[in-house]
Amino acid sequence: MNARNRSLALFAAAFALATPALAEEAKRVGVIMSMSDGQLNVRTREGPLTVVVTPSTTIQEDKGLQKRDRGPDSLMTGLIIKIEGDLQGNTLTATDIDFKERDWRAAIATKAGTAETFEQQNARLEQAAAEREELRRAIVEGQEYVIKEETTVYFATASAVISDQYKAQLRDIAAKAPGHGNYRISILGFADPRGNAEANERLSLKRAMAVSTYLRMTGKIQPGRVLSPSAMGEGTAAPEEVMPASDDQARRVVVRVLTPKTQLK
CATH of the domain at 221: 3.30.1330.60
pLDDT at 264 (0 to 100): 45
Confidence of residue 122 (pLDDT cuts 50, 70, 90): low
Q: How many residues does the chain have?
A: 265
- Indicate if 191 and 229 belong to the same structural domain: yes
Is the pLDDT at 257 greater than 90? The verdict is yes
Domains identified in the chain, total number: 2
Q: What percentage of residues in the chain have a pLDDT greater than 90?
A: 41
- Indicate if 254 and 152 belong to the same structural domain: yes
- Indicate if 140 and 106 belong to the same structural domain: no
Q: What is the mean pLDDT of residues 51-70?
A: 87
Q: What is the mean pLDDT of residues 226-239?
A: 84
Is the pLDDT at 123 greater than 90? The verdict is no
- Indicate if 56 and 90 belong to the same structural domain: yes
Which residues, 6+ apart, have CB-to-CB distance to 192 below 8 Å? 157, 200, 234, 247, 248, 250, 251
- Indicate if 147 and 109 belong to the same structural domain: no
Evaluate whether residue 218 is within a structural domain. yes
* Residue 137 · residue 225 · CB < 8 Å: no
Q: What is the mean pLDDT of residues 239-248?
A: 89
Q: What is the sign, positive or negative, of the torsion defined by CA atoms of 169, 156, 20, 16? A: negative
DSSP E strands in the chain: the ranges are: 24-36, 39-44, 47-52, 58-63, 66-70, 80-88, 91-100, 145-154, 184-191, 230-234, 252-260
Q: Domain of residue 206: give its range.
A: 136-260
- Indicate if 87 and 143 belong to the same structural domain: no
- Indicate if 198 and 234 belong to the same structural domain: yes
212: alpha, beta or left? (left if phi > 0; alpha if psi -120 to 50): alpha
pLDDT tens-digit readout, 164-173? 999 999 999 9
- Indicate if 251 and 147 belong to the same structural domain: yes
The predicted model scores a pTM of 0.50
Evaluate whether residue 160 is within a structural domain. yes
In Å, how far are 152, 154, 180 from 248, measured between CA atoms?
Answer: 12, 8, 31
pLDDT at 62 (0 to 100): 87
Confidence of residue 116 (pLDDT cuts 50, 70, 90): very low
